[in-house]
Copies of this chain bind each other. A is one copy, B any other.
Amino acid sequence: VNSMHITASVFINDDERGLHADYEKWLEGLAPHAPTSHYQHNRTCEDNTDAHLKRQVMGREVVVAVTGGRLDFGTWERIFYGEFDGRRRKRGYWSGSLGSSTPKMCMLPLLMMVTTHTSLLHL
């Protein structure tokens, strides 16, 4: 399962809102959005360099075991899509839409449409 976007991550961790808020705050500390002039990449008329950095910390993809046709997770493992830019419209397989009104960062549970024959979610 991979994100196909270079400012987003697919990761596995706990489904707990407080933890996701902690991730966002922590990532902002490790790779601050501002001042945007701090980053050379932003000279290409982007201002999302911090999102490229945050994505590397959280990872691009996960490999999930499938046992007996079902995703084989640990007790608390849940899979999430983490968007760190938030202004792009993404094609996706989840319910709802990530449009221009999405917040700067958001973490969404992925609908599990993976089968034993499909190891990739096009997001």
Residues of A within 8 A of B (CB): 2-6, 11-14, 16-19, 21-23, 26, 30-31, 39-44, 49, 52-53, 55-65, 67, 72-77, 119-120
| Interface contacts beyond A4-B73, A22-B49: sample of 5 additional A-B pairs, CB < 8 Å, sorted by A | A5-B76, A11-B60, A21-B41, A22-B52, A56-B57
Q: How far is the CA of A60 from the CA of B13 in the complex (A)?
A: 9
Q: Once the chains bind, are B77 and A6 in contact (CB under 8 Å)? A: yes
Copy tally for this chain in the complex stands at: 3
Residues of B within 8 A of A26 (CB): 31, 53
Residues of B within 8 A of A18 (CB): 39-44
State the main secondary structure of chain A at its contact with B: mixed
Q: How far is the CA of A60 from the CA of B1 in the complex (A)?
A: 14
Residues of B within 8 A of A3 (CB): 74
Q: How far is the CB of A110 from chain B (nearest CB, A)?
A: 15
Q: What would be 23 A-B contacts, judged by CB atoms less than 8 Å apart? A: A2-B63, A3-B74, A4-B77, A5-B74, A6-B12, A6-B14, A13-B55, A13-B56, A16-B44, A17-B40, A18-B39, A18-B40, A18-B41, A19-B41, A21-B41, A22-B49, A26-B53, A56-B57, A56-B58, A59-B60, A61-B62, A61-B63, A63-B63
